[in-house]
Structure 1
């Protein structure tokens, strides 16, 4: 029994516009199968076995506050020229420079049209085969504790863990890394970005949720009401959802 991340969930006032931005940013396509905008590789939303970790932009009435998200995306590049071209193109699409206290660094920090931070990385060999999303990055207080929880929660391999960071990645499908970075002073906030997880066909969602609670997850009420997914938080309060199989 284990779960797999299938979507990065981004809340937005204008989900269609933010979905179009991310589709253009990643070279993917935007689909509207329901009340949200799904962004994924060309070919449509293949469910329940998506070919990549996609993005699901969901509508919310509240605009984003100035508080930094604890979860963000890192985008991969293949050369210095590619990084410069991508940054320029993203700005043309509506991204804006963002200052999160990064100082002088080789990557570029931007925000999407509704202010969600992300990074365009300089070329790094480790991300050569990830696709456009290099990593989903999570600010945390204790990477080792996050490695314990998420390493048991997911079917992804734990690649590295130190006092400063923990790294997981799918051994089945490759794709982006999931990285937990020790961030001094990080505080629980209502993030605009979180992971959506899905059981494998034949697994029982209720049993998976019970297993997560035993690992230290807590139930979360965000006013979702009676829905087929379950909202939880990890031991540091990062939100995530366990989706239901069709």
Structure 2
């Protein structure tokens, strides 16, 4: 029953009856994936659809010089998979940013679901279209922006995706604990470059955390102002 309740809150499945959700319940097994687990890559067979029940996932590609370039950050309730992300012509990876619970559906199950319920296909197209636009925006920042601008954009993305209910608060906590090295990898940079920029953002009152092993919080309005000004 817990999974059925959860599925009913996912945008793709809103409006389905309890009986229809019960059918999905049988074809969407839950998998617990520890932090740092690669869920999908160009070298793995992809499920057509992954739904994040809890936790967070980062989608990224690897550049020719071996750096990771983050393309999207996904949190609880978001979905991704072969259609949304892995048929763009760009070899993508998906890795958990924290211990996460993932629902999986293969291509045959998904085709059967949208054949029996065509409105699912329309909702899916809407989700894919929005995701592609977000990915293009993030790729532009990550590929062409300064490291400072990449970090600002990344923190803004993390806050909006992982803690959307706190959008009206001054300080928004980011639920995932991230090291300087991980931030460097996520922005295609190196730790020695990222660390002084993080210190500068803290001095400017944009970023804070209570201790070295604590999650970051961002001041949303200051961050967005800095993002619009940053070169």
After TM superposition, is the score higher than 0.5?
no
| Higher normalized helix content (fraction of residues) | 2
The TM-score, its normalising length taken from structure 1, stands at: 0.30
Q: Which has the larger radius of gyration?
A: 2
